[in-house]
Structure formats: C-alpha cells, structure tokens
Amino acid sequence: MPASDRDHMLAAIASADRVRGSTAPNPWVGCAIVAADGARFTGATEPPPGRHAEVVALEAASGAARGSTAYVTLEPCSHHGRTGPCTDALMAAGVERVVVGTLDPDEKVNGRGVAALRSAGIEVSVGTAEDLVLDQLGPYLHHRTTGRPFVTLKLAASIDGRTAAPDGSSRWITGEAARTDVHRMRARCDAILVGAGTVRVDDPALDVRHVEGTNPRRYVLGSVPSDARVRPCTELSGPLPEVLDRLGADGVIDLLVEGGARVAHDLHSAGLVDRYVVYLAPMLFAGDDAHPMFVGAGASNISQVWRGRLVEVTTLGEDIRVTLEPGRRGGAR
Ligand code: AOF
Ligand code: ZN
C-alpha cells in the first residue's frame, strides 16, 4: 500500500521534533517533500536567522521537487521576515500540492499562506494529522494567541507529596532516570524559570548536562548571588502575569518552571500553569513536618480544590511521572 498523506505528515512531525528547543521565537516546523516517484525529502526549521522548514526540505529535494507534494506541519509563511516567503519558494520549485497540518495564527500569516498558494493554482488541504500537530505545536499556538509562554510546572516529591526533610535535606528524592528525563525536558524548552530561594538553597545549574541539546535561557525571580551556578541568567521581578508577558515578548514560547514551592503555589493559584509534570519517588517522609510541594494558602474547602485532567502516567526507573493539565474546577466528582 502506498504511504498515505497521514504517513508523510508523520514524517514531517518527526522531523520537527528533532529541532524542538532550538527555534524560538519561531515555531519548530517540519516539512516532507514527496516526489512523483515517491522519494521523500525532509527538513525542519533552523535556529534563527536560519531557513524555514520548507526551504530546508526543498533544497534537499532539489529538482525532484517539481511536481511533488509538500507536507508541512504549519501553514507556510507568505511574508518577508528574517527569510523570504515559503509560499514563493514552494511555487518556484514547482510543488503541485501542499498538505498543511494546521493554520498559523501568527498575525503575519493567519490564512494568507494558504490563500497565496491557492491563488497560484496550487492545491492545498489543511488538517492532516491535525490532532498530533496541535499537540506538538501547542506551546507555539498558545504563545501566538496569548503573547505568553506555555508554562510547564515541574515538581518532584515523595509519594506523600513532600520535597525535603524538616532539616531541609533533599538529595536525592527521584532517581537517575527521572533526572535524565528532566534534562530532556530542559533541552526541549526555550527557557527555565526558578525562584531566588531555590537558587540560594539548591544552587542548581539548570543545564542539560545529562543529555545532548542546547541549554535553555535561565530566568530567576528575585536576585541571584554573584557566584551562583545558574549564571548567566536574567533576574526578573514584579507580578507573575507581567513576568509572563515579558517572557513572551522575549520570544520564550515554551517555559519550564522548576520551583520552588512558593513560585509553584503562586503560579498555580493564579491559574497560570498550562501543564504539570510531577515526578514521584517511592518514598514516604510520613509526617507533616517535611517540606510540602506548595507553600502558601491552598483550597479552603473541597469545592475549591483544583482537579486536573490526567494526561499521562509513565514509569521512569523506580519513579513515576504524572502529567496533568488543567481541567474543570471542583474537588468533588
Ligand atoms: C514557515 N516555516 O519553518 C517556520 C515558520 O522572522 P521569520 O522570517 O523567520 O518568520 C517567523 C514567522 O514565520 C513565525 O512567526 C511563524 O509565523 C512563521 N514560522 N513558517 O513557513 C517554518 N518556522
Ligand atoms: Zn516560512
């Protein structure tokens, strides 16, 4: 059976996945050019000011692009920015059909890419494997529609939800596999945010030394000692919604927040967390004197309790990773 449109879009999605964390403020887009004889050439967005995905794939395909079908996860751009319009590149290469995963809400594009292709006589369809594309580009779409980064809050605790013993000692709660997984998350995001308290207590480097990839930009809420390992970093202050506006304006699309308990509480209670990734170790501090995951006032009655949607549960070595996203409010079912 010949490969379907969906199969080719999956190849474009896989290609985009490999550049995640390296393209901000641009989206991580993937493209597959499928020639008339079935040969497939892929490409993904380069770090700015590099080439867009379509141009990378077209250059790989070279003459084979004539009469081909292009599969692009995101609507091709039609504006002159850091690079020329991808719509022009697709037309000039002689692409006959363009299959788009989802439309680009960026005000510079927003339907104009598809319109430009159609008016040049190219057949365009939108929505192939769109569920997977929306999942992959979720943080980008969030950024372009709200102006703020998509916020992932990472938490690590014992199974009874504690993060340190009463004397403050906490090394190591989760194991090697979970720590490597956190480094993978760091490599895939654009920036990390922590509170100054976490810098003072843990002195984290917030780098990706356990995996291959680029170190994210580092932001700290509050002031940072001159010899802290987190340097170089940017110190921020002010109300959290404004902090997120500032990060969004800085081009941070995908933000990872790694603590501490006060920052976790303040972001959560303001409804500013888009995804929770919770690592739980098979340990019990077994007392109410150990440090909690959140510091500050919580829900005052059961009808105020936050209830999320369970997205995924994964075992990592001895630990588990639980991913939640906001659902509806209310503790009672
Ligand atoms: C595409 N393919 O691979 C990407 C696109 O400043 P520029 O010229 O690099 O343009 C950035 C905008 O282009 C970005 O805001 C988004 O709308 C789109 N990104 N478009 O056709 C790509 N990365
Ligand atoms: Zn483009």
pLDDT in tens, 220-277: 999 999 999 999 999 999 999 999 999 999 999 999 999 899 999 999 999 999 999 9
Protein residue whose Cα sits closest to atom 10 of ligand 1: 81
> Would you say residue 330 has pLDDT above 70?
no
pLDDT tens, position by position, 174-188: 999 999 999 999 999
Ligand 1 atom closest to Cα of residue 80: 8
Catalytic residue among 46, 54, 123, 258: 54
Q: 41-52: per-residue pLDDT in tens?
A: 999 999 999 999
Q: What pLDDT sits at residue 156?
A: 97
Give the integer Cα–Cα distance in Å for 140 and 26. 8
pLDDT of residue 1: 65
In this predicted structure, what is the pLDDT of residue 328?
Answer: 57
H/E run at residue 326: strand 319-329
Is 54 a residue of the active site?
Answer: yes
Closest-approaching ligand to the CA atom of 22? 1
What confidence score (pLDDT) does residue 120 get? Answer: 96
Report every protein residue that has its C-beta within 5 angstroms of ion ligand 2.
Answer: 52, 77, 86
**DSSP secondary structure string for all residues of 241-299:** HHHHHHHHHTT--EEEE---HHHHHHHHHTT--SEEEEEEES----STTSEES--S---
- Residue 192: how many CB atoms within 10 A of its CB? 25
Pocket test for ligand 1, best of 28, 77, 145 (most atoms within 8 A of CB): 77
What angle in degrees, to the nearest 10, is found between the helix axes of 130-146 and 5-17? 50
Given the CA of residue 106, which atom of ligand 1 is nearest to it?
17
Length of the chain: 333
Residues 141-167: what's their mean pLDDT? 97
For residues 51-78, average pLDDT: 97
CA of 107 to the centre of ligand 1 (A): 11
pLDDT band at 3, cuts 50/70/90? confident
Q: Cα(52) to centroid of ligand 1, in Å? A: 6
In the predicted model, is pLDDT for residue 319 greater than 80?
Answer: yes
Give the model's confidence band at 213: pLDDT under 50 very low, under 70 low, under 90 confident, else very high. Answer: confident
3-state secondary structure of 141: helix
What is the arithmetic mean of pLDDT over 319-329?
88
Is the bond into 139 cis (omega within 30 degrees of 0)? no
| Nearest atom (ligand 1) to Cα of 45 | 3
Q: Which residues surround ligand 1 with Cβ inside 6 Å?
A: 26-27, 29, 45, 48, 52-54, 74, 76-77, 81-83, 86, 104, 106, 108-109
Ligand 2 centre and the CA of 143: distance in Å? 18
Task: Give the mean model confidence (pLDDT) for residues 100-105.
Answer: 98
Using CA positions, which residue lies closest to atom 21 of ligand 1?
76
Average of per-residue pLDDT values in the chain: 95
Name which residue leads in pLDDT, 216 or 2. Answer: 216
pLDDT band at 172 (very low <50, low <70, confident <90, very high): confident
Question: Which tens digit of pLDDT belongs to each residue from 104-148?
Answer: 999 999 999 999 999 999 999 999 999 999 999 999 999 999 999
Using CA atoms, how far residue 44 sits from 6, 108, 112, 137, 299, in Å, is 18, 20, 21, 13, 44
Is the pLDDT at 331 greater than 70, yes or no?
A: no
Closest protein CA for atom 11 of ligand 1: 26
* Nearest-atom index, ligand 1, CA of 79: 8
Q: What pLDDT, on a 0 to 100 scale, did the predictor assign at position 235? A: 97
pLDDT at 38: 96
pLDDT score at 60? 98
